[in-house]
A and B are shown apart, each in its own frame.
Chain A
């Protein structure tokens, strides 16, 4: 094979590769759009009026996740399934956002940590790599960490809205999450960087809880009963 032939073969491969990336980028853009819409719906829980409508907002967000599922189904058709990690960078960011959004919805509904299986189900993808388009564990964890900072904000705003018990529940939840993350041996990667921010969220929520406790606004026995 001559040098010229070899290079035109490689060139053919490269341009095919670029076409695939182009296709992926288009779908990912739509996914990002939908993710922003969901975020907008969920953001309104920070409004004082939004506190009463949390179930309604969640239902609306769940509806929008249907669109996400169709987009992801579309995305799956754009590249060979065994080359997931070759193009991973393209959807990593949006997948983390979506993991965060599903975790947030599940928390608002049931005040529990979403499992990786649940996220996968909400997004219409797999958990195990062998079975197709899946949710990487690091992306899931990143999504959970984004939720933690959203919850620290929610703790502040729930006090403003007059809900004094929620911060206590959030505090329990975040502390549990924090001790969960302590179990992980993270490398010096983006996930680790994000995890380093978790302590500030924990701190902020603890301050809110402290403020409530010294003013006697948090009713200890009641929150004890909740548990």
Chain B
């Protein structure tokens, strides 16, 4: 810091000799005020950086959970994988607890940009797991209900009487919406891979579910945040792929005798080639 000030001084001295007192003098009121600003800004930037870091960890872990969940279609015992995913998401929730800790007493929206990517990824992972388990869309309340954290260590010393131990993190509706939009991409991948595994029910369920979500997004239209309209385009593409897959299944299914269906769909190549031809 002192070095930088040193650079500035000679230039000023050339023009106004009495300046030296003004700029070099640490007790000048302006300098004193700016020292306070320096602290305030540094504190804010540090907090922001910490949040970005946590958000990255949340993103990475959520992505891994999603990859894990994609294995569900090809494994006989799905329950093991679901439990493992649940454990992973618990770890992610701990991280979100750290975000909540950082945000205690702050305006959430001041730092929202630092952690929104992580939260969206988390919404994606948790709703994907929920869909595989229950075949339905997780609601915002259900997500928020699981983001309640108990903190005992530092909370006691603070002045707030009751609220200090329970920390909550609220996913905003926009983050939820964007997370759900990302979910549709995962569902599309799940649909294609389940076709490859000879599962002929899942694609139809998925296409129905995707259509519902698509209708929901069309209902929201452009009242939502700016990113939604971009994601809507991708959503249409995903839906198109899933609908094509279902179409192919239906067409091929009616042509092939029932007892041969399993053979046709059990090998990935057997399906993928004719699919190209039909489209």
Q: Which residues of A contact B (CB under 8 A)?
A: 1-4, 6-11, 13-15, 18, 82-86, 88, 113, 115-116, 129-130, 137-138, 141, 168, 171-172, 175-187, 206, 209-210, 213, 223-224, 227
Query: For chain B residues 35-91, which have a beta carbon within 8 Å of chain A?
Result: 35, 37-38, 40-42, 45
Interface flags, B119-161, vs A, CB<8A=1, else 0? 0000000000000000011011100000000000000000000
A217 to chain B, nearest CB (A): 14
Q: Is the CB of A138 within 8 A of B41?
A: yes
Q: Is the CB of B220 within 8 A of A176?
A: no
Main SS at interface, chain A: helix
User: Could you say which residues of chain B place their CB within 8 Å of the CB of A11?
Assistant: 219-220, 223
User: Could you say which residues of chain A place their CB within 8 Å of the CB of B217?
Assistant: 7
Q: Is the CB of A183 within 8 A of B173?
A: no
Residue of A nearest to B49 (CB): A187
Q: Is the CB of A182 within 8 A of B220?
A: no
User: Could you say which residues of chain A place their CB within 8 Å of the CB of B212?
Assistant: 2-4
**How many inter-chain contacts with C-beta < 8 Å in the A-B complex?**
137
A209 to chain B, nearest CB (A): 5
Q: Is the CB of B224 within 8 A of A113?
A: no
A18 to B193 Cα, complex, angstroms: 40
Q: Is the CB of A172 within 8 A of B173?
A: no
Q: Which residues of B contact A (CB under 8 A)?
A: 1, 4-5, 8, 12, 15-16, 18-19, 22-24, 28-31, 33-35, 37-38, 40-42, 45, 105, 107-110, 112, 136-137, 139-141, 173-174, 176-177, 209, 212-213, 215-217, 219-220, 223-224
Q: Is the CB of A141 within 8 A of B22?
A: no
Q: A175 touches which one: B1, B19, B216 (CB < 8 A)?
A: B19
